[in-house]
Amino acid sequence: MKLAVDEQRMLDGKEGPARQKAMDLLLRYGEALGAERLVDTNNVCATAGATTPFLRDFAAQHPGGLDAVFSEFSLDSAEVVKIPKVRAYTSHLQQGLDPAHAAEQNVAHELVQLYRNGQAYLGGLGLQMLNTCTPYQVGNVPVKGEHCAWMESSAVIYCNSVLGGRTNAEGRESAGAAMLTGKIPYWGYHLDQNRLGTHLIEVEIDVRDTADWGLLGYYVGEMVQDRIPVLNGIRYVPNLARLKHFGAAASSSGGVEMYHVIGVTPEASDMKEAFGGRKPMAALGYGPAERRLAYERVNSTARERRVDYVMLGCPHYSLEQIWEVCQLIEGQRVHADTCLWIFTPSAIKEVADRNGYTRIITEAGGHLMTDTCSAFGRVMPKGTKVAAVDSAKQAHYLPAIMGVQAWFGTSAECIQAALTGRWSGRLQ
């Protein structure tokens, strides 16, 4: 790979051992990918904390502490180096717990302490501690064409497709190296020719709420895997939450990192732009039968109608979604045998507090939580066997990670389950 002068300086160790290791990592990574050069980035989204089970044991036992965690897991270096301040503007993604709900999440005091130490350490390095899988909901909104280095599949697909930012799905190591150097290999979705559609999806039915968009995403992901679908025929312009659910579902049932919606997303004003004048590799339809198939697959683990736990906020809820839930739940009471947890970025919770939404949810017996989620943090109410979710992504992962059954439906059906303790949702 050809290095620029500033990159060579870092590789030669003239800017300290951490940046030297970061540049060495990017060089190895870029060469493995076949990249010819690096590109400047000033927008990194990454996890770098130590609150997940394996990392917290490592952090607790290693004399090098959090520098050792960063060296090993964000720079692929067994040698512990002192980590300097980051060079690229960097947002921290989700964490393993919500410290304000440690008791409900059954999280030990030591882990909360580790979380707090991590916050201070990473904040000191200059990371923005947004602690959410949806940085684009709380101020990190790349512009079209901006080169980014993001982790988190649901955020990556949103960045590429809805915002027109340019990122591959980075790992912890490449994102760690990018934040220290402000560089990332120039390949994949950074290049124009790799952003063109490959599969045409003719949408033959109305797709309206977030659950519908989740089903469409789940179906499309399974069909196209890691290619680039182009949706045609969308009659109702989706909002942020609907595209968020579509992308999260498509990136979990398949490996979709970019899609286009004709007339909606920024690189798809028409078919010609979306496909770059090329013929699609395949054309698929999405009608009632495909929708039903997706519904059955997302609900494939659910058997018992009794619901122990309703989890909302995957990806983290927007303020609009919290507002909608409050309208459904205000003045009512969550069933005595059921828990309701809703996850949102802490910056949105601040506004929810101010608006009285947190009080409405709490008075109903639910909790508005931040920073983490059940699948990522492995946090659930004790004894949960059956969960209900409005996210196809969470329905995909929760049974696999936590061994529970999961019902999938609309947000209203989930709230109904929280209030009655039973699942009564069905495909409309």
Which CB sits closer to ligand F3S, 375 or 418?
375
Q: Does 373 bind ligand F3S (CB under 6 A)?
A: yes
User: What's the CA angle centered on 137, arms 53 and 345, to 5 degrees?
Assistant: 40
Q: Does 315 bind ligand F3S (CB under 6 A)?
A: yes
Exactly one of 77, 95, 160, 394 binds ligand F3S (CB under 6 A); that residue is 394
With tokens 């940046």, the residue in question is: 19
Which positions from 2 to 41 touch ligand F3S by CB under 6 A, shown as an x/- string? ----------------------------------------
Distance CA 93, CA 95 (A): 7
Distance CA 151, CA 209 (A): 27
What's the min distance (Å) between Cβ of 73 and ligand F3S?
Answer: 18
Q: Does 369 bind ligand F3S (CB under 6 A)?
A: no
What's the min distance (Å) between Cβ of 322 and ligand F3S?
Answer: 14
Q: Does 130 bind ligand F3S (CB under 6 A)?
A: no
Exactly one of 41, 71, 154, 358 binds ligand F3S (CB under 6 A); that residue is 154
Q: Please, which of residues 247-266 interact with ligand F3S by CB under 6 A?
A: 248
Q: Does 133 bind ligand F3S (CB under 6 A)?
A: yes
Distance CA 380, CA 117 (A): 24
Q: Tokens standing for 301?
A: 């683990």
Report how many residues bind ligand F3S under the rule CB under 6 A: 14
Say how far residue 197 (Cα) sits from the centre of its chain: 22
The CB-based long-range contact list for 222-225 (8 Å cut-off, 24+ gap) reads 222/253, 222/254, 222/294, 222/297, 223/199, 223/254, 223/284, 224/198, 224/199, 224/254, 224/256, 225/254, 225/255, 225/256
Q: Does 312 bind ligand F3S (CB under 6 A)?
A: no
Among the listed ranges 1-9, 109-117, 203-211, 389-397, the one in contact with ligand F3S (CB under 6 A) is 389-397
392 and 253 in contact (C-beta within 8 Å)? yes
Q: Does 411 bind ligand F3S (CB under 6 A)?
A: no
Distance CA 312, CA 373 (A): 9
Burial of residue 110 (CB within 10 Å: 0-12, 13-18, 19+) is exposed
Among the listed ranges 136-144, 157-165, 311-319, 404-412, the one in contact with ligand F3S (CB under 6 A) is 311-319
Among the listed ranges 106-114, 191-199, 393-401, 419-427, the one in contact with ligand F3S (CB under 6 A) is 393-401
Give the interface with ligand F3S as residue ranges (CB under 6 A): 94, 133, 154, 248, 314-316, 343, 373, 375-376, 393-394, 397
